[in-house]
Structures are given as structure tokens and as C-alpha cells.
Structure 1
Amino acid sequence: MPEPEDWIAARGAWAVTDEPGGTPLPDHLLADPDLSLMAKGILALLLAEQGHPVNPYEDAHEEPADIKAAVEELVAANLVARVTR
């Protein structure tokens, strides 16, 4: 069975850095009680890619249904947008 695919990218302006390990993660998002831990992790992955689209299913150990729920959470919060890859 093929791996699920759903390309997403962070919406809006986010800080970027030249340091490979220095991705800034806004404290208010990490502390947001309305975002699940998985949604916060996917958002961190997106911000680490500094604007490049990501397929959150790629190389994931989590269940596709859980990833899909977290992506829907981020889309509903207007933090990410689906994009065509």
C-alpha cells in the first residue's frame, strides 16, 4: 500500500535562521492548550524546513489517522495550508 501524502506548508511570516539547528519556535504556540502535542511537533517540523512544503507522512512512525488529525488541527487553526507538490 502506498504511503499517504498530504503536502503542507506553514502559513504567514515566520522567523528564519542561517543556523541549521536554530529554528525558532514561538513560545505562545508551544503553550497553546488547543493544539495537541502531535500538531505542535508537525508545526516544529514545518518551521525547521523554513518555508519548504513537507509531507508529514514521510518516514513517520505514527499512525496515518493520527497524523491526519493533527494536520486538520493545524489547518483549522490557520497555521498551515495544503499545497501542491
Structure 2
Amino acid sequence: MDDWIAARGVWPLRDEPGCTPIPEHLLADPDLSLMAKGVLALLLAERGRPVNPYKDAYEDEADIRAAVEELLAADLVVRVAR
């Protein structure tokens, strides 16, 4: 599947390579599934660059799609044309 998404809004960054801060309130959000939190972490690690979450994924496509839809509904990500 070819579906590119990017994190929406302004997110904290650090100068340290390999360090991606993820706001604790998102990790603790009971309305976000573990899969959605993982996809969001992937997006934040890309520092604004669009990602195709299906590329090289081991997880089931339907589960990834559900996580993407969950993040879209929560207004945390946007779809990006590639």
C-alpha cells in the first residue's frame, strides 16, 4: 500500500542524534492504541518528513490502516501526496 503521512503540528526536537522526544501525554493517552502510538513515534523520529508506514512493516496492513485512521481522527497526522 502507498499511503504517506506526516506528523501534524510542532513537536519538540533535540540536537542529540538518535534522540526523539515523545510527549508523555501522548504515550499515556488511553484513547490511543499501542499501534497508533508506535506509528506516531515513527513519524516523530522522521522530524517532519512524510512516511509510508506500510513500507517494510511486519504488522498486518489492516492494523496499520486502523492506527493511521486513529491518528487522523485525533488530528495528530495528515495525509501527504507523494
* TM value normalised by structure 1: 0.93
CA RMSD between the two structures: 0.7
Partner of 2:65: 68
For residues 18 and 9 of structure 1, the distance between their equivalents in structure 2, rounded to whole angstroms, comes to 20
1:52 offset after TM fit, Å? 0.3
Percent sequence identity over aligned pairs: 74
Which ranges of structure 2 fall in alignment gaps of 5 or more residues? none
* TM value normalised by structure 2: 0.97
Residue identity in the other structure for 2:25: H
Displaced runs of 4+ in structure 1, greater than 6 A?
none
Q: Which residue of the other structure, out of 56, 59, 78, is the alignment partner of 2:75?
A: 78
| Partner deviation per Cα, 1:12-50 (whole Å, 9 max, x = no partner) | 001122222210000000000000000000000000000
Correspondence 1:9 to 2:16: no
State the secondary structure of the residue aligned to 1:25.
coil
For residues 35 and 9 of structure 2, the distance between their equivalents in structure 1, rounded to whole angstroms, comes to 20
Residue identity in the other structure for 1:12: G
